[in-house]
């Protein structure tokens, strides 16, 4: 497939070189020894090391490797498989996990699609996260994928260059997703369902309210048409303090709760809770505002 990577300086195509990427204007970006490329310009950083720190990334890796969210991943893979089945046989297909973290969902997606019957598509996988530490871990899963350090608000892809964008428990930028998706391309958006992490939330908050519908359902209207919604729910038991603390470190609650509340969670060595996740598929509208037929 031709390169779909965009130079963050001049917005021209970045072409692969022996050491990384370079555009026609000679802006160069070398690959790290782990295999990823950092495309965050220094003057665009809002902190020295944006995104999740090493401790948070390792907590997520440990928790996910125990299989607690495998049913969520399976539901995502099923939704994406349905989308890809609609594409023309023999065509190239580029998939991006935007906000990929340490690569869990993208790696399982690739493995699942490879284990099925011979794919009618030529698939190219990309993962982007603003955390350098997360991307370093992601490269350990599969160095054949395109791993990039980049912001969700300035994705390093050419206009209308991708077939599918996956966004799992991560900040979303619907105009940017629409920019990089082809007409008729799909956005698979994964967010907490109404009862997600109840059990943990009941310890943190005096009154627990159900999660409302994600803001993307309204924000996406200008660019996308809703195509499908599915929901994954199941009970979960955590049987050690390390598992509980790793889960907490994966959530915004880790930073938002006070010291006293965090101490209550820290004292636990057993926790029952709900996993409740919604998977929404959107299709990019055509120039006239209508969803494109595939």
Containing structural domain, residue 125? 31-196+205-236+275-284
Task: Please report whether residue 187 resides in a domain.
Answer: yes
Task: Please report whether residue 97 resides in a domain.
Answer: yes
pLDDT exceeds cutoff 90 at 293: no
Task: Please report whether residue 4 resides in a domain.
Answer: no
Note whether 150 and 51 are within 8 A (CB).
no
Q: What is the pLDDT, as a whole number, of residue 288? A: 45
Task: Please report whether residue 209 resides in a domain.
Answer: yes
Q: Mean pLDDT for the chain? A: 91
Percent of the chain with pLDDT over 70: 91
Task: Please report whether residue 56 resides in a domain.
Answer: yes
CA–CA gap between residue 48 and residue 128 (Å, rounded): 18
The CATH number linked to 82 is 3.40.50.150
Beta pairing class for 15-16 and 92-98: unpaired
Task: Please report whether residue 78 resides in a domain.
Answer: yes
pLDDT exceeds cutoff 60 at 119: no
pLDDT exceeds cutoff 60 at 265: yes
Q: What is the mean pLDDT of residues 227-232?
A: 97
Q: Record the pTM.
A: 0.93
Task: Please report whether residue 264 resides in a domain.
Answer: no
Q: Considering only CA atoms, which of 239, 241, 96, 258 is closest in space to residue 180? A: 96
Task: Please report whether residue 265 resides in a domain.
Answer: no
Q: In what order do the strands lie in the sheet with 146-149?
A: 37-38, 146-149, 122-129, 92-98, 162-168, 181-192, 271-284, 224-238
**Tokens standing for residue 123:** 């698939």
In the chain, the number of structural domains is: 1
């Amino acid at each position: 497939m031709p390169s779909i990577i965009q130079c963050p300086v001049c917005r021209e195509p970045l072409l692969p070189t022996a050491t990384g990427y370079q555009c026609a204007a000679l802006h160069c970006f070398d690959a790290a020894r782990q295999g990823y490329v950092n495309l965050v310009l220094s003057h665009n950083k809002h902190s020295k090391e944006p995104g999740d720190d090493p401790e948070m990334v390792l907590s997520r890796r440990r928790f996910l490797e125990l299989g607690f969210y495998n049913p969520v991943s399976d539901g995502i893979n099923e939704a994406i498989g349905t989308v890809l089945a609609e594409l023309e046989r023999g065509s190239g297909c580029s998939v991006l996990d935007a906000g990929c973290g340490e690569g869990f969902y993208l790696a399982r997606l690739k493995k699942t699609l490879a284990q099925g019957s011979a794919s009618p598509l030529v698939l190219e996988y990309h993962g982007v996260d603003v955390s350098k530490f997360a991307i370093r871990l992601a490269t350990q899963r599969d160095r054949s994928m395109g791993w990039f350090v980049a912001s969700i608000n300035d994705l390093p892809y050419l206009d209308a260059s991708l077939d599918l964008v996956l966004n799992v428990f991560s900040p979303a930028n619907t105009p940017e997703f629409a920019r990089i998706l082809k007409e008729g391309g799909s956005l698979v958006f994964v967010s907490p369902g109404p009862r997600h992490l109840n059990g943990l939330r009941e310890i943190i908050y005096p009154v627990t309210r159900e999660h409302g519908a994600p803001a993307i359902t309204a924000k996406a209207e200008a660019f996308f048409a809703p195509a499908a919604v599915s929901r994954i729910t199941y009970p979960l038991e955590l049987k050690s303090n390390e598992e509980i603390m790793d889960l907490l470190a994966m959530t915004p609650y880790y930073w938002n709760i006070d010291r006293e509340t965090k101490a209550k969670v820290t004292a636990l060595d057993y926790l029952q809770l709900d996993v409740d996740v919604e998977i929404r598929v959107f299709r990019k509208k055509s120039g006239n505002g209508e969803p494109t037929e595939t």
